[in-house]
C-alpha cells in the first residue's frame, strides 16, 4: 500500500468511475484498475464490487474510505510541518506607526520579528493618529503603533501598551522660555501651540517653530535627535499628568495568521 494507491482509491470511491479517476491523475484506466487491485491484495480486502457497467463500494470499502482520507490528511499535514520547519512561516504584515515613533526602539521590535520569521513580508505606513485609526478600522493595516485613544477604540479593536512618553515643549531660540530647561503647562497660556496630533505632521510643525510662528508640544520620542543647531530649543514639560501612551493596536477579527506572531513578540 502506498500514498498514490490511496489517492486512486479515494477518487474512485467518490466518483465511482474509473474513467474520471484516470482523467484526474492523467493515467490510463488500466493503470487505475491495476493499482486498486494491488491495494486490495495488500489489505486482503475487497474494496469494490464492479463489472463492465457498474462500480460500487463494498461495506469494507466504505469503512476504509474514511481511514484512507485520514491517512492522506495526516501525510499532508506532516509534509506541511516539515516544509515550515525548512522555510519558516510565510506571510505578510501591514504595519502602521505614528509620526516620530521611528526614532524609538521600534526598529528593535521589527528586527526581532524579522529574525524569527524572515519569510514574513512587511510593509510600513507612517501617518498621524487619525489616519492610523482609520486605516486599521478599514482593514488597510494589520497593526498600528499609535497614540492610545479610548475614543477611537471600537469594539473589535484591542491593544497593548508599549510605553508612556513624557512631553517636550519646543521653542525658537529667541523665545522668552528658550533658556529654560523645563516649563509648566500654565506658563504657556496665550501661546500659539502646535500639537503632535495635528494634521500638519511632525516635520511641518517643527518647521513652523523654527520660523518662530509658535511653539510645539510633542512626545519626547519625536525630538530626541533635535538640538539647538536646528533652530529649536527643547524644554521638558514639568506636568507629570501630561503624557502620551503608545500602544500596539490591532483588530481581533483580523484573520491574518502572521499577526499573532508579532503580538506574541510584543508581549514577550
Cα-Cα-Cα-Cα torsion 111, 112, 115, 120, nearest 10 degrees, comes to -80
Residues 235 and 114 reside in one and the same domain: yes
Residues 13 and 57 reside in one and the same domain: yes
User: Rounded to whole angstroms, how far apart are CA atoms 174 and 214?
Assistant: 11
**Is 125 a member of any domain?**
yes
- Cross-strand pairs, 98: 127
The domain that holds 233 is classified in CATH as: 3.40.190.290
β-strand pairing of 233-237 with 182-183: parallel
User: Rounded to whole angstroms, how far apart are CA atoms 217 and 193?
Assistant: 7
> Half-sphere exposure of residue 98, counting CA atoms within 13 Å on the CB side?
25
Residues 30 and 143 reside in one and the same domain: no
User: Rounded to whole angstroms, how far apart are CA atoms 248 and 143?
Assistant: 7
**Is 98 a member of any domain?**
no
What would the 3-class secondary structure string for 81-148 be? HHHHHHHCCCEEEEEEEECCHHHCCHHHHHHHHHHHCCCEEEEEEEECHHHHHHHHHCCCCCEEEEEC
As given in the structure block, the three cell numbers for residue 122 are 512587511
Residues 126 and 197 reside in one and the same domain: yes
**Is 175 a member of any domain?**
yes
Residues 123 and 229 reside in one and the same domain: yes
User: Rounded to whole angstroms, how far apart are CA atoms 12 and 147?
Assistant: 59
pLDDT digits (tens, 9 = 90+) for 25-74: 999 999 999 999 999 999 999 999 988 778 999 999 999 999 999 999 99
As given in the structure block, the three cell numbers for residue 115 are 529574525
- Cross-strand pairs, 92: 121
Residues 14 and 125 reside in one and the same domain: no
Residues 191 and 259 reside in one and the same domain: yes
Residues 123 and 241 reside in one and the same domain: yes
**Is 172 a member of any domain?**
yes
CA nearest 244: which of 217, 268, 208?
Answer: 217
SS3 label, residue 52:
coil
**Is 93 a member of any domain?**
no
The domain that holds 26 is classified in CATH as: 1.10.10.10
Residue that is written with C-alpha cell 490510463 in the block: 28
Residues 82 and 149 reside in one and the same domain: no
Identify whether the C-beta of residue 110 lies closer than 8 Å to the C-beta of residue 74.
no
| Number of domains within the chain | 2
**Domain termination residue (choose one: 52, 87, 122):** 87
Residues 132 and 235 reside in one and the same domain: yes
pLDDT by 10s per residue, the chain, length 268: 899 999 999 999 999 999 999 999 999 999 999 999 999 999 999 999 988 778 999 999 999 999 999 999 999 888 876 666 555 677 899 999 998 899 899 999 999 998 888 888 999 999 988 899 999 999 999 999 999 988 888 888 999 999 999 999 999 999 999 999 999 999 999 999 998 766 567 888 888 998 999 999 999 988 877 665 567 899 999 988 889 999 999 999 999 989 999 999 999 8
Q: Is the pTM of this model over 0.95?
A: no
Residues 124 and 198 reside in one and the same domain: yes
Give the domain extent around 19.
3-87
**Is 127 a member of any domain?**
yes
Residues 80 and 203 reside in one and the same domain: no
Amino acid at each position: 500500500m502506498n500514498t498514490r494507491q490511496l489517492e486512486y482509491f479515494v477518487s474512485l470511491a467518490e466518483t465511482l468511475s474509473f474513467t474520471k479517476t484516470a482523467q484526474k491523475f492523467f493515467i490510463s484506466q488500466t493503470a487505475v484498475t491495476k493499482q486498486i487491485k494491488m491495494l486490495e491484495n495488500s489489505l486482503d480486502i475487497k474494496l469494490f464490487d464492479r463489472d463492465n457497467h457498474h462500480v460500487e463500494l463494498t461495506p469494507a470499502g466504505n469503512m476504509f474510505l474514511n481511514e484512507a482520507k485520514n491517512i492522506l490528511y495526516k501525510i499532508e499535514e506532516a509534509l506541511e510541518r516539515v516544509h515550515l520547519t525548512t522555510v519558516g512561516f510565510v506571510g505578510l504584515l501591514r504595519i502602521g506607526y505614528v509620526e516620530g515613533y521611528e526614532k524609538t526602539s521600534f526598529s528593535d521590535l521589527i528586527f526581532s520579528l524579522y529574525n524569527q520569521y524572515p519569510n514574513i513580508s512587511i510593509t510600513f505606513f507612517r501617518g498621524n493618529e487619525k489616519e492610523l485609526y482609520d486605516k486599521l478600522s478599514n482593514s488597510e493595516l494589520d497593526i498600528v503603533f499609535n497614540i492610545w485613544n479610548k475614543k477611537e477604540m471600537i469594539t473589535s479593536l484591542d491593544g497593548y501598551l508599549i510605553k508612556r512618553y513624557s512631553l517636550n515643549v519646543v521653542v525658537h531660540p529667541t523665545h522668552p522660555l528658550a533658556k529654560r530647561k523645563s516649563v509648566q503647562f500654565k506658563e504657556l497660556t496665550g501661546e500659539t501651540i502646535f500639537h503632535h496630533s495635528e494634521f500638519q505632521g511632525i516635520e511641518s510643525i517643527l518647521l513652523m517653530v523654527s520660523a518662530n510662528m509658535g511653539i510645539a508640544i510633542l512626545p519626547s520620542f519625536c525630538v530626541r535627535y533635535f538640538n539647538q543647531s536646528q533652530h529649536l530649543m527643547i524644554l521638558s514639560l514639568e506636568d507629570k499628568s501630561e503624557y502620551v501612551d503608545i500602544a500596539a493596536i490591532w483588530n481581533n477579527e483580523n484573520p491574518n495568521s502572521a499577526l499573532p506572531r508579532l503580538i506574541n513578540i510584543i508581549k514577550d
